[in-house]
Amino acid sequence: MDTIKVVCGIIYQDGKVFICRRRPGKHLEGYWEFPGGKVESNEDEKDSLSRELHEELEMEVEIKDYYATSNYSYESISIKLIAYHCELIQYSSKLTDHDKFEWVSPEDLLDWKLAPADIPLAKKLLNI
């Protein structure tokens, strides 16, 4: 089975975490996710995360430690979602692939309709 490697950021500001909702027309539209995107072949994961956050959100972060990896399998494809802790430097509120964003308390994360591979990352933040 093919595996898609995706990187995402667990981005904090004032104790809250950034999530955004995939816009209509996108795969997984209406689902919330930690932002990021596909890692291109031969691309470093952190470079990829910086690039995606800049392209999709005009967001700059300081990428900190590796956090965790979540694997999720569909019928014909698997997603390997690799997460890094990040600290926000700045963002512009511009959205391209998303139609909404929120800063949420970690304990409220599971109240949002998260994409399937993002759910274990949210649970790990809550130690459940």
Among 91, 118, 121, 125, binds ligand 8GT (CB under 6 A): 118
Q: Can residue 97 be called a binding residue for ligand 8GT (CB under 6 A)? A: yes
Cα-flanking dihedrals φ and ψ of residue 110, to 5°? -75, -5
User: DSSP code of 77?
Assistant: E
**Cβ nearer to ligand 8GT, comparing 57 with 79:** 79
Among 10, 17, 81, 88, binds ligand 8GT (CB under 6 A): 81
From residue 31 to residue 70, what is the string marking binding to ligand 8GT with x (rule CB under 6 A)? --x---xx--------------------------------
Among 45, 58, 60, 72, binds ligand 8GT (CB under 6 A): 72
Burial 55-77 (b: 16+ CB within 10 A, else e): ebbebebebeeebeebebeeeee
Cα 47 from Cα 44, distance rounded (Å): 5
Region class of 36: left (phi > 0), else alpha (psi between -120 and 50), else beta: left
* Contacts with ligand 8GT, residue ranges (CB under 6 A): 4, 6, 8, 26-28, 33, 37-38, 72, 79, 81, 97, 115-118
